[in-house]
Structure 1
Amino acid sequence: MSRYRNLALFLTLATLWGSAFVAISAGLAYIPPVLFAALRYDIAGLLMLGYAVYAVDNWLPRGRAEWAQVAVGAVLLIAAYHAFLFVGQQNTTAAAAAILVSLSPVLSTGFARLLVPSDALSPVGLVGVFVGLVGVGVIVQPDPANLLATDAVAKGLVFCAAAAFALGSVLTRRIDASLPIETMEAWSMLGGALVMHLVSLAIGEPFEPAAWTAPEAVGALAYLSLGASAVGFLIYFDLLERLGAVEINMVSYVAPIVTAIVGWIYLREVVDAATLAGFVLIAVGFLLVKRRAIRQEFSHVRSRGSSD
């Protein structure tokens, strides 16, 4: 029964996070991108903080190391990731954005090895990172004669979002702090929202509340804040404890499939052959980089299943 429960939660999480890219595209028609992302995490951060107060004893960071971990999470995992993603997604499809973001686990491994030279990638792992980056190139399809083409720049910004998230995930793990993940996520969301509000003011994004009364805008913001963020992270915390980091990373490769289907139904976006080929290359890169951890995880799952 536990196995089916985990599968149901895994598919639910993939659906929530995959369809979130479609909600972003829908809301961007009404709300400026950085402000949109900030509002999302104003709401989600308060909800997550409420959950942290309920679920863990250490809901308030203490000491320099814990606040440093929150600061890195706020700047990289929330603010930089979502600012780049929302701005980039104005001019690219939801499916392309979701696929580019799925490169994050591959980049995380690359950053981890870069920051800890003694923990070098094997030749196969290096090939995996290279294959993943080739997948990005296939999706972006940069034109040497026009590197600043709107679509290429937009996809480049989404790639920057994936890189910011990957770097942030590595740095937060490197900081020696015993902060519960619920607390770290809650305060990072609130801190990241504050950073994005400041960025939104600095770049002069228009504040037009009348445009936000459209049902589609309200629905997109509510879905992203309550569904994809609040409910999604609660499921993520549960699955992380039950499955571990390797299996939960596979959500990144199921979510784009959901994005493509929902984007086609709701936005009439079509996934072209280049985007599909890039997704395959990024997935292959992930399998090459994480092959040992995946092999160990499946061996563990098989032994656990045989003992049931």
Structure 2
Amino acid sequence: MSRLSLQSSPVAAASAFVLLAVLWGGSFVAIEVGLAYFPPLLFAGIRYLLAGVAVLAYAAVVADGWIPTTRREVSSVVVTAVFVIAIYHGFLYVGEQYVPGAIAAVIVSLSPVLTAAVAAVVLPNERVGPVEVGGFLLGIVGVSVVANPSADALVSTQTLGILLVFCSAVAFAVGAVLLRPLRTDFPVVALQGWGMTLGAVLLFAGAGALGESPGDVSVTPTAIVSLAYLSVLSGVLAFLIYFALLDAVGPTQLHLVGYAEPVTAALASWLVLGHLIEGDALVGFAAILAGFLVLERHSVRRMLVNRGRTA
């Protein structure tokens, strides 16, 4: 799936986008299923060790200069490993012990909103105005609707899970913003491969600190299928599709995949587990999407104008 083929074929690009949303949306349900057989941090570490080694091997074949050599390249790998892989997935996997995967996907869809908000605060060239604040607040309202913070719910395990998953979205946003000033010509596929591998090591360290042990793993056909899905399909294949789409359509359009993931996660949860997402989650998701469109209104407008010119 090359950059040229996706750029020259809108149908191929749209198909790749849908496939990416399906693979990443299904990963939330695969995590929920696998947590019955794996301790959370160990589960995430195994997944990203397998995926990271495979992506690194691919980078060694297709990318020039796939080994980081400069301070900025090493720094970008460290930021990716710490925030985008280790902390993000650590909180996500622990949180999914208490909240369904479909709900976790809705909360994680807040990441682009949080990224824009963090960038507006941290980066000097990002403007913060009433509209930006309003977009951020819309996203927070969406999470609050999903959490449904009644007096009884505040002490529930599901609320704990939502808070943990929210922390994972914050970690991803912080990592995404910290990576912006570190951009170089270092290949994205190599960055992700090194980040996954180092992030897996950090997750294993966290698992050891929490007393997780390989002896706690229950090796069953379901456990193997879950891990294989997360490592091979949602890990290696999905990231290769992501790299191709990033070149073909750019980051703004690709951010929209985060809003297709909750839909595919809800469908997968219904098909695999028989769970139906509740109305509150749908309303919350709509508010989060509205917040993103407000914050990224200029980029979305440019994207629509450019698409209209090429149609």
Please state which band the TM-score falls in when normalised by the shorter chain. Answer: over 0.9
Match in the other structure for 1:159: 166
Q: Secondary structure at the match of 1:205?
A: coil
Q: Which runs of 4+ in 1 moved over 4 A?
A: none
Question: Aligned in 2, Cα 1:94/1:61: closer, same or farther, shift over 3 Å?
Answer: same
User: Is contact 1:56–1:180 with CA below 8 Å preserved after alignment?
Assistant: yes
Cross-structure match for 1:7: 14
| Cα separation, 2, equivalents of 1:17 and 1:29 | 20
Partner of 1:296: 302
For residues 243 and 210 of structure 1, what CA distance do their matches in structure 2 show?
Answer: 40
1:278 and 2:270 are equivalent in the alignment: no
1:217–1:120 CA distance, 2 compared to 1 (3 A): same
Structure 2 stretches lacking a partner, 5+ long:
1-7
Shift of the 20–4 alpha-carbon distance from structure 1 to 2, 3 Å rule, reads: same
User: Equivalents in 1 of 2:183, 2:286: separation in Å?
Assistant: 36
- For 2:16 and 2:268, how far apart are their aligned partners in 1? 19
Q: Which residue of 2 aligns with 1:228?
A: 234
Task: Determine the structure 1 residue equivalent to 2:44.
Answer: 37
The counterpart of 1:188, out of the listed 183, 195, 207, is 195
What is the deviation of 1:221?
A: 0.4
- Could you list the per-position Cα deviations for residues 10-50 of structure 1 after superposition, in whole angstroms to 9, with x for gaps in the alignment? 10000000111111011001000100000000100000001
- Deviation of 1:149 after TM superposition, in Å, equals 2.2
Work out the CA distance in 2 between the residues paired with 1:146 and 1:9.
Answer: 39
CA distance in 1, matches of 2:50, 2:32: 19
Per-residue deviation, residues 219-267 of structure 1 (Å, max 9, x unmatched)? 0000000000100010001011110111111101111101101101111
- Sequence identity (%): 39
Q: Does 1:140 align with 2:147?
A: yes
- CA distance in structure 1 between the partners assigned to 2:50 and 2:208 by the alignment: 19
Query: Counterparts of 1:75 and 1:115 in 2: how far apart (Å)?
Result: 18
1:83 is aligned to 2:90: yes
Q: CA contact under 8 A between 1:69 and 1:177: conserved in structure 2?
A: no
- Does the Cα contact within 8 Å between 2:118 and 2:177 map onto a contact in 1? yes
Task: Please name the residue that 1:96 is paired with.
Answer: 103
Q: Give how far 1:124 is off.
A: 1.6
Quote the RMSD (CA, aligned, Å). 1.3
3-state SS of 1:147 partner: helix
Deviation at 1:269, TM superposition (A): 1.5
Q: Distance in 1 between matches of 2:191 and 2:269?
A: 32
Asked if 1:266 is matched to 2:272, the reply is yes
- The aligned residue for residue 26 of structure 1 is 33
**Is the CA contact 1:10–1:239 (under 8 Å) kept in the aligned structure 2?**
yes
Which of 222, 225, 243 is the equivalent residue of 1:219? 225
Q: Does 1:253 align with 2:259?
A: yes
Displacement after TM superposition at 1:146 (Å): 6.2
Q: Check the 8 A contact 2:137/2:291 in 1, yes or no.
A: yes
| Counterpart Cα distance in 2 of 1:176 and 1:40 | 26
Instruction: Describe how 1:116-135 pairs up with structure 2 within 5 A.
Output: 116-135=123-142
TM-score by length of 2: 0.95
Q: Give the Cα–Cα distance (whole angstroms) in 2 for the partners of residues 140 and 282 of structure 1.
A: 13
**Rounded Cα–Cα distance in structure 1 between residues aligned with 2:227 and 2:153:** 35
> What are the superposed Cα offsets for residues 49-103 of structure 1, whole Å, 9 maximum, x if unpaired?
0111111111100022111111110000000000000000011111110010011
SS in 1 for 2:97: helix
In the alignment, what sits opposite 1:237?
243
Change (3 A) 1:210 1:173: closer
Which deviations, in whole Å up to 9, do the C-alpha atoms of 1:98-157 show, x marking residues without a partner? Answer: 010011011000111111244222322211110001101111122346634211011100
| Aligned 8 A contact 2:52 2:194 in 1 | yes
Instruction: State the distance in 2 between where 1:132 and 1:146 align.
Output: 20
- In the aligned structure 1, how far is the partner of 2:294 from the partner of 2:11? 28
Q: What corresponds to 1:64 in structure 2? A: 71
Post-superposition offset of 1:268: 1.5
